[in-house]
Amino acid sequence: MQTPGEFVREQVTTVRSTVDRVAGSVAESVAGSVGEKPSVAAVSSQVGDFIREQRSAARVSLRELARAAGVSNPYLSQVERGLRKPSAEILASIARGLKISAETLYEQAGILDRRSGNPDTVAAIRSDEGLSERHKAVLLELYETYVREHRSATETSARAAAAARPAAASQPAVQPRNSKESA
């Protein structure tokens, strides 16, 4: 029987080989939704629709929002109708005008991927100076993977305890073994 330390070490080794594969898709998980030209048009329309929704909800005219945001109203109109694809700076300005977070619009625009997990943990890893940027990216990706697993495992076990184990085997090399060890 393995000691806990050995078990962890083995996991780390397994994780290492997985991490190399995962690392290649790290920024892709963020950029993937921005990569393909076809979806760009849809995304422009999405953020435009979203802006219009928020503006309507706030009962603000296009000109009022444009003024508040510091952008031209014709341009804002074009953005809302998906005719133009605004830069991040413009999105941030519009967010300010709408009194919502810029990240919200970035996500709608497909610029920023929604992060799972605890923002504090994410921020801790991101700001840790003892890590290289690449290692940060790898840890964050793994962290998110685990959080998603934990979440789905929690939901699955809430539904049917018997089905919980097979469902946990949906993730790559790491989780299956983990699952086996606990069984």
* Interface with DNA (CB under 7 A): 5, 8-9, 12, 61-64, 70-75, 77-78, 80-81, 83-87, 89-90
* Residue nearer to a copy of itself on the CB measure, 35 or 74: 35
* Residue nearer to DNA on the CB measure, 17 or 118: 17
Structure-token match 């605890």, residue found? 118
| Measured distance CA(27)–CA(183) in Å, rounded | 35
* Residue nearer to DNA on the CB measure, 83 or 124: 83
DSSP secondary structure code for residue 25 in this structure: T
| Measured distance CA(180)–CA(164) in Å, rounded | 13
- Is 182 in contact with 26 (CB distance < 8 Å)? no
The option from a copy of itself, DNA, none interacting with 116 (CB < 5 to 8 A, set by class) reads: a copy of itself
For the chain, what's the residue count? Answer: 183
Q: According to the binding rule CB under 8 A, does residue 142 interact with a copy of itself?
A: yes
- Is 61 in contact with 80 (CB distance < 8 Å)? no
* Residue nearer to DNA on the CB measure, 85 or 136: 85
- Select the residue interacting with a copy of itself from 39, 46, 121, 157 (CB under 8 A): 121
φ, ψ of residue 70 in degrees (nearest 5): 80, 30
The option from a copy of itself, DNA, none interacting with 152 (CB < 5 to 8 A, set by class) reads: none
